[in-house]
Chain A
């Protein structure tokens, strides 16, 4: 069975600090990888995704993530966070088949102080 582990449950940063959120997955095959974000009071939104090709993917709002196949990791990064990045971040994995389901990590709550 596929699973996702997010390293941190809560992260507190000051504005302009750099961010890295860890994500490791377990799956015995080709994967699609995702980071979703949920801002306070809003619905889940896709931040970025990896399907194939360049392992460094860029998403919205200056976020990027790097797929390291040998480490089964897909860490999320941002060089300089803003107060508006305060949100909960979820890493997710899906098998390559179009009929695979999406498995989420437990989420990381990021609080950015101004």
Chain B
């Protein structure tokens, strides 16, 4: 069974803290993604990565950075957490092959609250 695992289900952090959200996939996928989900706004892409040590900005990268040192692991970093970063964060992975007919697999999400 395919699996995308996010390290925490719930996190509470203080304003100004550096926050790490970890994601691991066991499907040997090249592509990995970080989204945030907010009521009424759907899922918005923060960053994605096509391969180890590669990263691309998504639609809302401000205030975030990412790290991909190993193929299976993709980390989202909030350099200095702010209250407007309180949200549900979703990690996903997919394979770029199969002629482009690929679906993304999602983790269970991390609900981050910044106080």
Closest to B99 in A: A98
In the complex the two chains form, is A52's CB within 8 Å of B101's CB? Answer: yes
Q: Which A residues are in CB contact (< 8 Å) with B58? A: 101
Number of residues of chain A lying within 8 A (CB) of chain B: 29
How many A-B contacts at CB < 8 Å in the complex?
A: 63
Q: Which B residues are in CB contact (< 8 Å) with A52? A: 101
Q: Which A residues are in CB contact (< 8 Å) with B112? A: none
A12 to chain B, nearest CB (A): 17
Known: A34-B103, A43-B107. A98 touches B98 (CB 8 A): yes
B85 at the interface (CB under 8 A from A): no
Q: Which A residues are in CB contact (< 8 Å) with B35? A: 104
A44 at the interface (CB under 8 A from B): yes
A82 at the interface (CB under 8 A from B): no
A102 at the interface (CB under 8 A from B): yes
Q: Which B residues are in CB contact (< 8 Å) with A72? A: none
B65 at the interface (CB under 8 A from A): no
In the complex the two chains form, is A102's CB within 8 Å of B104's CB? Answer: yes
In the complex the two chains form, is A98's CB within 8 Å of B42's CB? Answer: no
In the complex the two chains form, is B98's CB within 8 Å of A106's CB? Answer: no
Q: B residues near A, CB below 8 A?
A: 31, 33, 35, 40-45, 48, 50, 58, 90, 92, 94-104, 106-109
